[in-house]
Amino acid sequence: FFTSAGKEFLLVNPWNYIPKNYNPTLVSLGRFKMAEECFAPLEQMLADCEAAGLSPKIRSAYRTNSDQKWLFIRDVDKYMDEGYSEEEAERLTALKTAVPGTSEHQLGLAFDIVDTDNQNLSEDQQHTKVQKWLMEHCWEYGFILRYPDGKTEKTGIIYEPWHYRYVGVELAMELRDSGLCLEEYIEQLTQE
């Protein structure tokens, strides 16, 4: 946990696991579940994106630990099928699929949002009109592009131009203005 502007935030990454007692209050938007605090901002962001003539689509939202474990094992198996050792397969998988217990999706605050016309979770997303709009406006609704380009060493996760995390408008604006990723921002706070 860290505090910014009197509000407490949870940092989850390969080095910071979700506390065992963490239990978000979940609500549903269609077939997706999410933490209650980000429901209205997400709904408004998607509605405004659609009003701009675009077609955003949620690909993933809240995940249970079991869901995350299944995704991780599936991706490890893919690498092993390609001839990687289990250790190397796990290392490569962890760069793109969070180890269970370290996924922001398990917080209910993270969303994979894609363009309806391009639902691939690849760097090609950055070129879609939906992502360009979201990257420009997400902070207005309290979201950040969580794994920005060039920040893998700090975040522990590859560039994901589709993964958005709710942090509230104030922190989202601070991160946008500073150009820092969440880890760099926290590092700066602790140095101050």
The predicted-structure confidence for 25-41, as pLDDT tens digits, reads as follows 999 999 999 999 999 99
Residue 1 has pLDDT above 80, yes or no: no
How many other C-beta atoms can be found within 10 angstroms of the C-beta atom of residue 9?
Answer: 17
E strands, the chain, where?
2-4, 7-9, 26-29, 32-35, 56-60, 110-115, 143-145, 163-166
**Three-class DSSP category at 115:** strand
Residue 5's pLDDT band, with cuts at 50, 70 and 90, is low
Q: 86 CB contacts (<8 Å, ≥6 apart)?
A: 76, 80
What's the rounded mean pLDDT across residues 64-68?
A: 94
**Distance in angstroms (rounded) separating the CA atoms of residues 17 and 10:** 10
Residue 55's pLDDT band, with cuts at 50, 70 and 90, is very high
- For residue 160, indicate whether it is catalytic: yes
Catalytic residue among 86, 88, 140, 160: 160
Query: What tokens does 166 get?
Result: 């709710």
For the stretch 145-186, pLDDT in tens is 999 999 999 999 999 999 999 999 999 999 999 999 999 999
Q: 176 CB contacts (<8 Å, ≥6 apart)?
A: 139, 144
pTM of this prediction? 0.92
